Amino acid sequence: MTYSYYLWRGQRGADNVGVDAESVTDNPLALNDPPPTAVQEGEPGGAQGTPAWLREIQPASQVSSKVTAHKLVKIVAVVCTVGLLGGLAAGVWFLVRLLLRPAAAHSPAGLGDTKETLFCNVTEDVTVTDPRKVFYRISPENSLLEIQLEKLQTWLPVCYERWNSSLGTLVCRQLGYLRLTKHKGVNLTDIGPNYTDGFVQITSEYKTNLENIWQFRGSCITGKVIALKCFACGTRAKLSRIIGGMEATLGRWPWQVSLYYSSRHTCGGSIITSQWIVTAAHCVHNYRLPQVSSWVVYAGIVTRSSTKLVQHTGYAVEKIIYNKNYNHRSHDNDIALMKLKTPLNFTDTIRPVCLPQYDHDFPGGTQCWISGWGYTRPDDVHIPDTLKEAPVPLISTKKCNSSCMYDGDITPRMLCAGYTEGKVDACQGDSGGPLVCQDESVWRLVGVVSWGTGCAEPNHPGVYTKVAEFLGWIYEMIENY
């Protein structure tokens, strides 16, 4: 990858500014030209019949020096004027280039070109404010739901009273899992003496938002606590790359898919359930219902040539939904969903990725990964056959929105990842693919490859759709369709 941005990023390039000075020439009378020959009196055309034009030049010695001096002054004036205008034009040209430099790249930079990094001294934010008042987790030992309230520093089990499956689904989604798969009440006598600090219980008025329904209790009336399991995602099988990347092995990114339109790889995507794929709106927004049948999704592959094999028959697309607020000019809200006609069969090489947790942002500097079949150089004309992967650190919005990077173009629905010096990035053909970050033991789809200026250019990192801002929309679309 340099990553699927080259195609979409290029739309942001500004026109080059330049001034061409035309050369000015003059051919005055030479100072050493001989004077006109005098006409002798008595000869034809003599003094009595001398033409007017000849009479005017007869005093050659007196007039020629005046004419020559006058023309010399004109020449000097013209030369000075041209020089002044040329210097002014050159000054304006350099000023315009200097003013435009921070806003956008005008031409692809060399991979080793880091001269622009001298202009970017914005300090990276390494911490983020966590707005959450309630924290959730599922114990890996016994599957018990545990909650930590804002004012308490202890993880407490949840009483079974007033519990239902709808609450289970909400809790799973808070944790970045698409749905609840199993829940039950467990007797306190079966969980041992580890929980002695109290319990969390659902209040009687639990129709408010999830954050406000919990209260501390010293005991559970029913003598039971909640155990639950959520939809499994974000894991990889234990199996034996993008400008600056390496080739990926089969099963390393099992949620990565290739989206083909009319038998050609067009974009990447990420599996979130057996029937739903997340991709970028700019990949699909021009394709309406009549063209849905032209899309095919290939999963469980790392080489595109394997799509021609019988065992890798693509999955037909039933529905395409892109966010209604997508803006093709600014690339804001650049996210879409694809529903497959037939469900995927999950294997070691085909698995879903987890979504982000609600209200939880990764700080700038967090090491994440991109993957895709996009161009490996900005000037490429062929998409590589093998899936590439590369590590990229997240960049805070504050830094990415500074004048030395994107100068305010990054909206709250976008995030940036990459390096100040460039070299590693997504490029054309990677659009819609995943930016994933590991959170404890699972991988989460933090971003969707969206846009950027050029590919792997200094001070112009990749820009990604911020998936955490679309969790409600994703869940709503999946439930309604």
Q: Which residues are catalytic?
A: 282, 334, 431
Alpha helices in 160-240 (DSSP H): 165-174
Rounded to 5°, angle at Cα 299 from 296 and 303 = 100
Helix or strand holding residue 9 (H, E): helix 6-9
Burial (CB < 10 A; 0-12, 13-18, 19+), residue 266, is: buried
Tokens describing residue 198: 């109290």
Question: In terms of Cα–Cα distance, which of 165, 229, 221, 156 is closest to 191?
Answer: 156
- Residue pair 331/450 in contact (Cβ under 8 Å)? The answer is yes
CB pairs under 8 A, 24+ apart, for 7-12? 7/428, 7/429, 7/431, 8/282, 8/331, 8/428, 8/431, 8/450, 8/451, 8/452, 9/451, 9/452, 9/453, 9/454, 9/455, 9/460, 10/454, 12/104, 12/451, 12/453
Question: In terms of Cα–Cα distance, which of 326, 285, 302 is closest to 247?
Answer: 302
> Going along 303-410, which residue ranges are E strands?
315-322, 336-340, 367-372, 388-395
Residues in CB range of 308: below 8 A, 6 or more apart? none
Q: What Rg, from alpha-carbon coordinates, does the chain have? A: 36
Residues in CB range of 356: below 8 A, 6 or more apart? 176, 444, 445, 446, 467, 468, 471
The strand pairing partners of 268, in sequence order, are 258
DSSP 98: H
What gap in Å lies between CA 254 and CA 347, rounded to an integer? 9
- Residue pair 266/472 in contact (Cβ under 8 Å)? The answer is no
- Residue pair 393/461 in contact (Cβ under 8 Å)? The answer is no
Burial (CB < 10 A; 0-12, 13-18, 19+), residue 387, is: buried
Helix, strand, or coil (residue 183): strand
Query: Rounded to an integer, what is the distance from CA 62 to the centroid of its chain?
Result: 78
DSSP 360: -
